[in-house]
Structure 1
Amino acid sequence: MDEETATDSSPGDAVSSRDPGEFDEDEEIHDSHRPSPDLGETPMDTLVWYHVDQALAPAQSYTSMSSQGESDVDGDSESITGVKLDRTGSFSSCYSYDSDDCEKKTSKSRSSDDSSESPKTNELTLDENEFKHPSLTVAFTFTAISDTLRKLSDLEYFFKRELWLHFPQKFNMDMDVVSVVDKLLESFSLEKSLRIVKAILIKIERNKLVQYLQARCTRNEVRYELKKFLKEKYSDLFKDGTSDDGEKPSFSDVFTDLYISSNSHNGPNIEHEVLTIPKLNTNDEPGTPISLKDLLNPGKLYEIRSNVIMLHGAAGSGKSMAIKKLIHDWVEDQSDTSLNLLIPIAFTELKQFEGSRMSFLEVLHTLYPPTQRITEKDLGCTDCKTLFLFDGLDEHEGCKAFNFNSTELVFSSTHKVSLHGIVVNVLRGKVLEGGVALVTTRPMMTSTTPWDCHHHKIEMLGFTGDHRDEFFRKRFKDATRAERVIEYVKSSKTLYAMCHLPLFCSLVADECQHVFRERGTQAELRRSITYMYTKLLLSLIRERRKSRAPDRSPEQEREFLMTHGKVAWNMLEEFSFKRVKPYFSSEKIFNIESVTYSGLVIEYTVTPAVLLNEQAFSFLHPTVQEYLAALYAYLSHQHDKDIFESKSFHGKIKGFLKQQKADLFVWAVEKSLEFEDGRFDMFLRFLCGMELKANQDLLQSFCRSENHIQSTADFIRKKIKENRHPNRINNFKQCLEEMGVSI
């Protein structure tokens, strides 16, 4: 083409021949993106010149294809499936040169045929079905795109150049990452923003970042689907509350904060109504409280520098309640954390994998189908913070035979081993990849793992005083009923002390609610504390039978209780509330069955005068020891076995019995009067409560019904009238109350 012809067919003339109003917008955008002349020659200058030079050729114009079926956030009804460079300052995309007369403008219709003629290098291919998922939120999309673009480093220029080339009206080269993401989300839908970013990354050949962005979105989708799955699996945590006359209220309405200590081995609660029990010489000083929400905070979790946290506590102290609360808060987004995945696994659920070889990842995929798109790489990714909740290590079948020395060491979550191998390596922290495991267990199980596992141990101590009142106020929506229950609990120091266990609080609330439902709000509540202790005992036995011994007969259960009751009686006679390991072993009940599964005994570490470390054992609470001793005495008496073996003691009551067979309750009264410190007062109270019909109904599988209430009450009234023991009269009155008789 000669110079004259080139001048005549200049783009300036062609543009000037059109209606000026037609190009105001294009010209304004062109000016706004033109580089400043004082910056010297830059890649941007070269880029602009290159495109202007190409515009002189009449062979090709750049068009922008309109998509169908998706709307932008700002209301634009068009979206992009194939985006071609819309050059600012060149010919309108709706015109082209005629081959015979280069100055003759002919209208050009937009069609798919035209788009196919455009160079593929200027096209962004967007899959309209990609990234469509209800899990997408503005917060996630902003973070995912921002984190991806920040990894571009010096290649950020090329990404912004592509954005400017395809969307010159929206982006310029001076925008930083935050501005780019803001503009994307302002101009396009969340899905389209992700598609555009992915398409440009593909075009500039940043495939690792494409995979990174895709993985982030996949994990977000899994997170969403996992929450839905957990909401169905733990539906009782999310049901609506009901009135006091209906079923139990919702979990979130009732849940009360729990006291979690940063130190472990704090020993049993020793609050007592009658006795002053010296503080046990435990190995650790009381620690600082830990908020349950901290266990959902990845920052706090990773500060611990251990990927296995052992949360141990006595039976009924609230460990499972804490697990449920963590699940509830994560599913309902009530915890302000960046925890990506929360995966609860009860050890009882692992029984289905006995006898098979599976990888840890296969176990996750089997128990939680929504996680099947999660890979080993995802679990090890720093952007995928995962908390595994392993509840009830003491309920695992193989915990009696943990062998850390000979079990195969596994480092990968895809390595197939036996179930025992999986559990041992979970406790080692080896198959968790980048995740953290919170393992709940009863105290004894913490000593079964070797020292080099580097577990972080914390202890669940249940309710403090304020928590107990708060629980009942939440449990009973009717304020009048709530205050009546609190007053009832506080009327007995023993009941109030035992309410440090959330399980015991729940049993008391159930009983009171039953009374209110049957007899009305003003009905008198049951005065027998023995009855509530029996309910606690049966609750622990039922749990043990369900998880450990489903085929155990009542006779075997009775024998089990007799064995523990005998130890409790022997310790009571010695006025001792703990046993160190050698003595406990000699009584033939030191085994995992009694200490861990029954929930009646707890283990802790003490600091003796000579040895550096010593394991000690106590009953769940001093009053539980006294209750078991009374139960042992009562069951023994039914089988004509005399636990009061002192002949001199027999002589003291021989006259009163008129040579009849010594009555158990008379013996117990005299035994109580022997000791001014009241060490047998609670024992006597529990023994009297055994005579109550309601209590015998609960124990009917262990004993036959007997009634010595009248003769026992007469003897106690006689002692009260004698007034020879004024400091014991109050206890005698409470014994009468236990039997449900008047003074």
Structure 2
Amino acid sequence: ACKVLFILDGLDESQLPLDFHNNKRLSNVTKTTSVDVLLTNLIKGNLLPSALLWITSRPAAVDKIPSDCFDRVTEVRGFNDPQKEEYFKKRFSDDENLSSKIISHIKTSRSLFIMCHIPVFCWITAMVLGNMLRGSCSEEIPKTLTEMYIRFLLTLTNLENKKHGKNEPDLRKLSESDVQIILKLGKLASHNLLKSNLVFSEEDLRECDIDVNEAFLGSGMCTEIFREEDPMFRVKLYSFVHLSIQEFFAALYVSHCHANGLPWISPWVSLYFGKLDTLHDLHRCAVDKAFHNKNGHLDLFLRFLLGISLESNQILLKCLQLQTEGDKESIQNTIQYIKVKLSTEWFVSSERCINLLYCLIELKDNSLLNEILKFLTSQSLSKIELTPSQCSALAYMLLMSEEVLDEFDTRKYNTSSQGRSRLLPIVRYCRKAMLVACYFTDDCAEILASAIQMPGSHLRELSIIYSQLENQKPFIDALVSWVLARRELR
């Protein structure tokens, strides 16, 4: 007998509510109903129970689907470390010296090297560093995510202008038309990012003063970073070539509006961020929104927003008029706010905590990491009590290193149960893990499941002693497969 296969590609882009709890049960294929009800019943197996489903999606939509609906979950992980190097060698196959310079540079910034697992980030890095390192560049090479994307924007604009006979040696000098394109794209990016909307209709474009019939969409910059979705559909849809580019443009626009006292693009956005008198108010609200979002929505937006506020980056973007009085004081207040949040928040995602450490790096503050360096060089590790924020920093530093730990034992670290939960991401990069007296939240269980299921996982032996799992199912499901692979569990 033949089976039918449904492929739901990009489920998150549908913007359907996927209300599994309240949608009515449906098993009759001849009955007319909404697309949302059809999908929820198809996924739950009430409708066409013998059908096969293949769903691709970002995490936001997947988290709406009950876990018992899945038979198998596969994570698309991008380039591994050797493939990152291979990309740059092939990209600059005619200049081995240049490819070696680029690889050496990104390895000096572990956060950039990690981001290179995303193919589009390799493309951005190749464009920026290839342009800067090809000649005798006297400018500082980008070391943070924000610096790389700012350089990408300026490099892309300059290269496109050269094609039209405009040769401006100073990349920072943008024409008025360039500025308007950036702000229009920023308005579109920010308005839709906050609504988790990644695909835009012509009406969405018009709301942001973009005329779909004008030369705007055909401009060089737009063709590189903005695209029309599959033309087979009758209704034209558009998107940024990668979510990180949308997040960057959104951060640019929000920074521009705040610095110039411009009204927010809609009352809804004002409600989202609240009343913002100072730059620190903006940072604080954005930190809170991103920190308490389980799916990591706004993580990169937050890193860009904070990074853009640095004076060195605002000088590069001087044509966008981002600087205001009191910025330096606001930045110091934001750094302190992040540190307090890392120290005082309980039962939050360790992944969100690590993102706050990335934020500190974007703000060029390494004080927490320096504290951990002192800890790691201490002769009496077990006697030094670590705060939860220091545990997050320790996890970050161990993850940033290229070494796989032979053993990770929570008993070696003098910290609270909250601190131990912050250390859990280390499990992904060790051969043997000893987890003693830990309290595992849903997030912790997912981290353990991820460590077990991760392709090329180094974990071979896992001991869980005197520990409590709040939500065991995702971990137990992964554990069964792991044990069947002849690894050792105690």
Provide the TM-score with structure 1 as the length reference. 0.32
Q: Which has the higher contact order (CA 8 A, sep 6+)?
A: 1
Provide the TM-score with structure 2 as the length reference. 0.47
